[in-house]
A = this chain, B = another copy of it.
Amino acid sequence: MSGLSAAVVQASGFLDLTGVLSNAILGGVVARNERFDPIGFATLAIISGLGGGLIRDTLLQHGTPIALTDPWYVITALIGATIAFLIPVEGRLWNAIFPWIDALALGTWAVAGATKTLSVGLGALPAVILGAVTAVGGGAVREVLLRQVPSVFGGNTLYATPALVASGLLVLLNRLGHPTVGLVVGTLGGAGFMLLSRWRQW
């Protein structure tokens, strides 16, 4: 993907880690609700924070997944687990900020996943799909492990559609020659779509 500058790739890496932290915290919150022990917190945080990226990198088959080669990924996931374990993230404040974290994490991951897929030379359709897989994959694996039907199939909160919006916008703007604009518009577009769908209760 010649249109991607080094700065954009670096920004994508930072977005990736931000998504790891927020999703690891979300995984830890689920672990608290399930009354898991510390190992359960760490496991759910790692699955939630690294699962989508591990699935993407395993499918891309361009070397060992970055979640294993770059130590900051596991460390960030464990920091998220520790935060969720130490701080009872619930109540009015949590309910007020949770949807915003959730939406931003979804947008950043979909965009990061689509960017990485394009960067190894795959086409638009796999980029859109693997962007969405990056965004919803970790959560879906967590739900399967906890014996829930993955919410990507529906339910009271939309996940898959905003993720497809985010990765779709990124791929489109990439093809139009605006990769950096795509990162911003894709992330905010996906996050905005998700907040709107939650607010309007689609």
A interface residues with partner B (beta carbon < 8 Å)? 34, 36-37, 39-40, 43-44, 46, 54, 58-65, 68-69, 71, 74-75, 120, 122-123, 125-126, 129-130, 140, 144-150, 152-154, 160-161, 164
Contact B74 A39 (CB under 8 A): no
- The residue in chain B whose Cβ has the minimal distance to the Cβ of A153 is B40
Going nearest first, the 8 A-B pairs with the smallest beta carbon separation are A40-B153, A68-B126, A39-B160, A74-B125, A61-B64, A36-B153, A37-B154, A71-B123
**Is chain A's binding surface mostly helix, strand, loop or mixed?**
helix
Residues of B contacting A146 with CB < 8 Å? 149
Query: A183 to nearest B CB, angstroms?
Result: 22
Given A64-B62, A74-B126, A120-B64, verify A145-B154 contact (CB < 8 Å). no
Q: How many copies does the complex hold?
A: 3
Q: List 6 A-B contacts (CB under 8 A).
A: A36-B153, A39-B164, A68-B122, A69-B122, A145-B150, A146-B149
